[in-house]
């Protein structure tokens, strides 16, 4: 058999080419894996750099994170977000350096897709963010105690009944009896008439229900403070508040507020918003927390409504404290008998007794509120030892400097605001919170035109990168097959996800 010269050379040349091609192919696989990892890193850089570009005012003043998609303008523009992300990613994908870079990539696309506005679902993301902040700042045991108080408030209101109606009925009854007596008109025969009638007393004792009825002709602010001169005169400066206009909505499913979120939100408000007792020196309202609860345009209106809400809660609790104290109910009945017992109509005495008890609870509640607003603490569920007012000295408690007894382990004014926050509607709280934030931005020069519903809390972005193979060009049979790599990535991020 004849051997051709050079056959071994050809054989080894072909073999070496195969091994070299395999080596280049394996090297390109490593290169491709490195490019794949870089595309992942660049996508992470793109979305995270976008979320690092948050509204500084909201963070510094309220510990809230949100991206202003309008960049301090009045209209949202996600193209601005895309452009800034493109700038950051491009700088990292193909840096301008005088060195060999085997991982150069070109950034083809950075595009915002789905997003969530911080005002979606009546401000639920705002409450959610506030709850996240609170989780790292308060002990969990405080949540339990606050929740227990809030559960009892509504039940106690129902049990105490309509206090205002009881006072009004007793006041009307007393006036009617007095008028008929003065005109020598007979009193109506009431079922249950069992007392021995007599002549009306020449000098009857004062009727607490009538005294409170006259007191209620004054504003509650005057009853509590005596004067409104020291109250803030500030008002919301927005022409059209977010809570009253149609808001821009996001494209993702909105957040939902849980009962725990509401508890945490109450603690957030205590630490981050101004109120009657704690001025954090924001540029907007002085009573921001009261605005969250009531939503009126002025500080004065909001503090007045908070006082009314506090009065309703305290009167119900104090009424129950009287009804559970036999000594107090007996004292109220004895006074009612002195005032109207001469009619001999037991039903009238019962009505007036309830009215006196209600008036007594109202007076004690006014004293409670004065103490709270002066920085003191009250017992939420009062014992006889913690009670302040006496029926025999009823008319002596009206000067505004007279307050209830201090209870060191009781609730402060801010604690009461927290309770009111928990039992209030999260929908209204979220809307009113939007107003507070936009009003603060409106009063800050750099953010004057910003709108709260331009702000994002969640965003997904699509990224596309391109690069070229380095080693396939050295493999003849791969020419024209692998000229370009394309990497597509999607990233999602949200400030409400820990």
Give per-residue pLDDT as tens, 288-338. Answer: 999 999 999 999 999 999 999 999 989 998 998 998 999 999 999 988 888
Q: Quote the pLDDT of residue 31.
A: 83
83 backbone dihedrals φ, ψ, rounded to 5°? -65, -40
Which of 104-108, 263-267, 435-439, 468-472 has the largest mean confidence? 435-439
Give per-residue pLDDT as tens, 361-419. Answer: 999 999 999 999 999 999 888 889 999 999 988 888 989 999 999 988 889 999 999 98
H-type helices in 424-470, by residue range? 426-442
pLDDT exceeds cutoff 70 at 105: yes
Mean pLDDT of 45-53: 93
pLDDT exceeds cutoff 90 at 205: no
Ranking 23-27, 61-65, 279-283 by mean pLDDT, the lowest is: 23-27
pLDDT exceeds cutoff 90 at 169: no
Mean pLDDT of 74-95: 88
Q: Quote the pLDDT of residue 210.
A: 86
Ranking 157-171, 411-425, 426-440 by mean pLDDT, the lowest is: 157-171
314 backbone dihedrals φ, ψ, rounded to 5°? -65, -40
Q: In which band, very low, low, confident or very high, does the pLDDT at 77 lie, cut at 50, 70 and 90?
A: confident
Domain range annotation of the chain: 7-121+451-494, 129-440
pLDDT exceeds cutoff 80 at 25: no
Please report how many Cα atoms fall inside a 13 Å half-sphere around the Cα of residue 93, on the Cβ side. 28
Mean pLDDT over each residue of the chain, to the nearest integer: 83
pLDDT exceeds cutoff 90 at 63: yes
Ranking 110-119, 156-165, 461-470 by mean pLDDT, the lowest is: 156-165
Q: In which band, very low, low, confident or very high, does the pLDDT at 243 lie, cut at 50, 70 and 90?
A: very high
Which three-class secondary structure state does DSSP give residue 457? strand
Q: Which residue has the higher pLDDT, 360 or 194?
A: 360
Q: Which residue has the higher pLDDT, 7 or 90?
A: 90
Mean pLDDT of 214-224: 90
Ranking 173-177, 300-304, 420-424 by mean pLDDT, the lowest is: 173-177
Give per-residue pLDDT as tens, 462-481. Answer: 999 998 887 666 565 555 56
Q: Quote the pLDDT of residue 166.
A: 60
HEC secondary structure over the chain: CCCCCCHHHHHHHHHHHHHHHHHHHHHHHHHHHHHHHHHHHHHHHHHHHHHCCCCHHHHHHHCCCCEECCCCCCCCCHHHHHHHHHHHHHHHHCCCCCCCCCCCCEEEEEEEEEEEECCHHHHHHHHHHHHHHHHCCCCHHHHHHHHHHHHHHHHHHHHHCCHHHHHHHHHHHHHHHHHHHHCCCCCCCCCCCCCCCCCCCCCCCCCHHHHHHHHCCCCHHHHHHCCCCCCCCCECCCCCCHHHCCCCCCCCCCCCCCHHHHHHHHHHHHHHCCECCECCCCCCCCCHHHHHHHCCCEHHHHHHHHHHHHHHHHHHHHHHHHHCCHHHHHHHHHHHHHHHHHHCCHHHHHHHHHHHHHHHHHHHHHHHHHHHHCCCCECCCCCHHHCCCCHHHHHHHCCCCCCCCCCCCCECHHHHHHHHHHHCCHHHHHHHHHHHHHHHHHCCHHHCCCCHHHEEEEEEEEEEEEECCCCHHHCHHHCCCCCCEEEEEEEEEECCCC
Give per-residue pLDDT as tens, 248-285. Answer: 999 988 788 888 898 899 999 999 999 999 999 899 99
């Amino acid at each position: 058999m004849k051997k051709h010269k050079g056959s071994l050379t050809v054989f080894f040349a072909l073999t070496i080419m195969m091994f070299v091609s395999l080596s280049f192919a394996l090297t390109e696989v490593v290169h491709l894996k490195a490019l794949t990892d870089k595309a992942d890193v660049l996508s992470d850089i793109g979305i995270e750099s976008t979320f690092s570009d948050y509204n500084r005012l909201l963070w510094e003043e309220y510990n809230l994170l949100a991206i202003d998609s309008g960049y301090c303008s009045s209209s949202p523009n996600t193209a601005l977000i895309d452009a800034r992300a493109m700038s950051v990613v491009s700088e990292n994908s193909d840096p301008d350096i005088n060195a060999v870079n085997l991982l150069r990539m070109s950034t083809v696309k950075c595009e915002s897709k789905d997003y969530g506005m911080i005002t979606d679902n009546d401000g639920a993301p705002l409450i959610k963010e506030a709850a996240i902040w609170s989780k790292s700042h308060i002990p969990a045991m405080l949540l339990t105690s606050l929740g227990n108080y809030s559960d009892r408030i509504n039940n106690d209101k129902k049990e105490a009944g309509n206090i205002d109606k009881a006072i009004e009925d007793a006041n009307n009854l007393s006036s009617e009896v007095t008028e008929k007596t003065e005109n020598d008109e007979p009193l109506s025969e009431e079922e249950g008439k069992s007392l021995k009638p007599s002549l009306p007393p020449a000098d009857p004792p004062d009727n607490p229900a009538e005294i409170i009825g006259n007191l209620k002709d004054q504003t509650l602010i005057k009853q509590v403070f005596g004067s409104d001169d020291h109250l803030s005169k500030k008002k919301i400066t927005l022409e059209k508040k977010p809570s009253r206009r149609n808001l821009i909505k996001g494209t993702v499913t909105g957040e939902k507020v849980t009962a725990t979120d509401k508890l945490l939100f109450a603690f957030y408000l205590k630490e981050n918003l101004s109120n009657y007792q704690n001025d954090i020196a924001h540029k907007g309202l002085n009573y921001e927390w009261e605005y969250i609860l009531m939503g009126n345009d002025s500080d004065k209106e909001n503090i007045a409504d908070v006082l009314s809400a506090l009065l309703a809660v305290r009167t119900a609790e104090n009424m129950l404290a009287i009804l559970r104290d036999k000594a107090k109910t007996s004292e109220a009945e004895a006074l009612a008998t002195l005032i109207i017992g001469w009619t001999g109509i037991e039903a009238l005495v019962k009505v007036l007794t309830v009215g006196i008890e209600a008036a007594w609870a109202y007076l004690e509640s006014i004293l409670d509120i004065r103490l709270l607003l002066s920085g003191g603490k009250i017992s939420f569920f009062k014992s006889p030892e913690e009670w302040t007012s006496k029926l025999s000295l009823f008319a002596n408690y009206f000067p505004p400097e007279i307050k209830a007894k201090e209870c060191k382990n009781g609730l402060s004014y801010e604690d009461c605001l927290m309770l009111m926050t928990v039992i209030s509607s999260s929908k209204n709280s979220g809307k009113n919170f939007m107003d507070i934030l936009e009003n603060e931005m409106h009063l800050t020069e750099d953010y004057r035109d910003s709108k709260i519903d331009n702000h994002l809390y969640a965003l997904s972005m699509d990224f596309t990168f391109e690069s070229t193979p380095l080693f396939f060009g050295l493999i003849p049979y791969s020419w024209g097959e692998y000229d370009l790599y394309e990497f597509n990535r999607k990233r999602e991020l949200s400030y409400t996800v820990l």
